[in-house]
Chains A and B, each alone.
Chain A
Amino acid sequence: MDYFAQQLINGVVLGSIYGLIAIGYTMVYGIVGMINFAHGDIFMIGGFIALITFLILVSMGLSAVPLILLVMLIVSMAVTAVYGWVVERIAYRPLRQSFRLAPLLSAIGMSFVLMNFSQVSQGAQVKPIPPLITGGYTLHDSGNFAVQLSNVQIMVVVTTIVLLTIFSYIVSRTRFGRDMRACEQDQTMAALLGVNVDRTISMTFVIGASLAAVAGMMYLLYYGLVDFFMGFVAGIKAFTAAVLGGIGSLPGAMLGGLAIGLIETFWSAYFSIEYKDVAAFSILIVVLIFMPTGLLGRPEVEKV
């Protein structure tokens, strides 16, 4: 039971990170109908920016950890948002009127560009960061096994919850959120009602990228390292999460993220760690066979 509880905690933390990335996939899919394959690499960029910010702050002699974390978060979100904006602007927007596969190919190309750019500019080796958030709580100790909840885990989950609350408020209550949903449902009609569709799409990429940046920073703090290749695997997992939850659905992305995180963690804990990805993808396939639109996806026929 203690072992189970521990895995549950680990799974939720991992799932939060996947969920934050998955939201970017699902938002972009919802509004422009394409899979932004470069999104995983945007997540990786977010991790790097956070690390670079950390190194700059430390070299400036700053030592207050909460302040360092806050600045890391803000800088990483802002700079990564610019990356997201630029990627949409140069790689996707010119191809929007083109055939459907064109932006997809462009996205794959963009993914390699970002990956190789990081590899060349930052080096190929894994970049570590010293543990910034230490300590934690022992929730239960049965003698031979202790259930631990580390402060870093608490921070990952709390940050995710706070951001999701802000984010869902924006989507459901603000004018920008309404414009975004309008563009998602009918771009022509949105434009007829005075919505600047191009700007709304840009902002969607900006928000998706900044959430991915948060995920990148959480990953950096949780695992203590980043490397240029981390966006690939995490990106595929988060994309899977988005599809599992029902692509286009925001709660679905979070739910899918949690599901993938939990499946992976439990499989590694109880069966074999080598096959954790096989397990995650097998479950994806099974779910899609029985629920083709994912867990919370809507059937396409609703489109009037």
Chain B
Amino acid sequence: MSASSATPLLAIRGLRAAYGNVEVLKNVDVDVAPGEIVALIGANGAGKSTLMMTIFGRPRARAGQILFDGYDISALPTHEVARLHIAQSPEGRRIFPRMSVAENLHMGADAADGNTSESDRSADLDRVLALFPRLKERMTQRGGTLSGGEQQMLAIGRALMSRPRLLMLDEPSLGLAPLITRQIFDVIRRLNREDGLTVLMVEQNANHALRLAHRGYVMVNGRITLSGTGEELLERPEVRAAYLEGGRR
């Protein structure tokens, strides 16, 4: 638990959010310290993706605070959150289907809003392509024509192009072959170890996620019910039950 005692990069306090009259997040508290990988696990519909999107103001928080670097960003417009170098590879990956792979990556670099020069940009691009060599062969291809695994790599690569201080990953393993999943998780681990990248990830594959993460939170029906280090959570019977429930689909 040593990581959580440092000043958090992201601190979510008493967060509530709703779609219409349906309250999806009910008083959620989550901390992410700099350099940490934090996993958020839970069944389908628990509110994990909503939490990720609420950080970007979609939907807007109804109550509570989202502190990034100590500043409450819960009222910022979505595009201004992105400029703070918070990047997300969202649920469903959301690759721009009629843009080339190169253009998709440029969109990520644009999010950093001009404070990266042309040479920084090409250095970033080289780095991303070194992490995901598959993308290199696909640069001129349209995003929509990529396979699921390649789209996931592109979504993460696009997020990395914005030089994120906080990288948010929503279900990076969804629908991918085990081998590809392992490759992607390896990249995340490397970025964290070598560059100290801070990661907040949502996963249904709790086993994988908790092994990768320093700490984890379990979410049930819009509430955090458990938190602890990855190993601790893996031992908990509730987690094992939730993991089996979520893993068998």
Contacts and interface: CB of A to CB of B under 8 A. Distances in A.
Interface residues on B, range: 20 to 34
Interface string B79-98: 11011000010100011111
Given A192-B78, A192-B88, A193-B111, A182 B58 contact: no
B42 interface: no
A188 B94 contact: yes
B106 interface: yes
A249 to B, nearest CB: 11
A186 B83 contact: no
A67 interface: no
A196 interface: yes
B162 A182 contact: no
Contacts, number: 71
Contact of A178 (B79, B94, B103, B162): B103
Contacts of B58: 188, 191
Interface residues on A, range: 20 to 34
A303 B79 CA distance: 23
Contacts of A126: none
Contacts of A162: none
B239 interface: no
Contact of B108 (A191, A193, A302): A193
Nearest to A197: B79
B119 to A, nearest CB: 17
Contact of B90 (A175, A192, A304): A192
B30 interface: no
Contact of A185 (B77, B99, B113): B99
A157 B112 CA distance: 41
Interface in A168-206: 175, 178-179, 181-182, 185-186, 188-197
A173 B173 CA distance: 33
Contacts of B112: 194
A302 B142 CA distance: 11
Contacts of A186: 94, 96
A182 B79 contact: no
Task: Give 6 nearest A-B pairs by CB, closest first.
Answer: A194-B82, A194-B111, A191-B78, A189-B94, A193-B111, A185-B96
Given A193-B82, A193-B108, A298-B98, 9 more contacts: A178-B107, A185-B96, A188-B94, A191-B79, A193-B111, A194-B110, A196-B79, A304-B97, A304-B144
Interface of A: 175, 178-179, 181-182, 185-186, 188-197, 298, 302-304
26 contacts: A178-B106, A179-B110, A181-B96, A182-B96, A182-B107, A185-B97, A186-B94, A188-B58, A188-B78, A188-B94, A191-B58, A191-B77, A191-B78, A192-B56, A192-B82, A192-B88, A193-B82, A194-B111, A194-B162, A195-B79, A195-B110, A196-B77, A197-B79, A302-B144, A304-B95, A304-B97
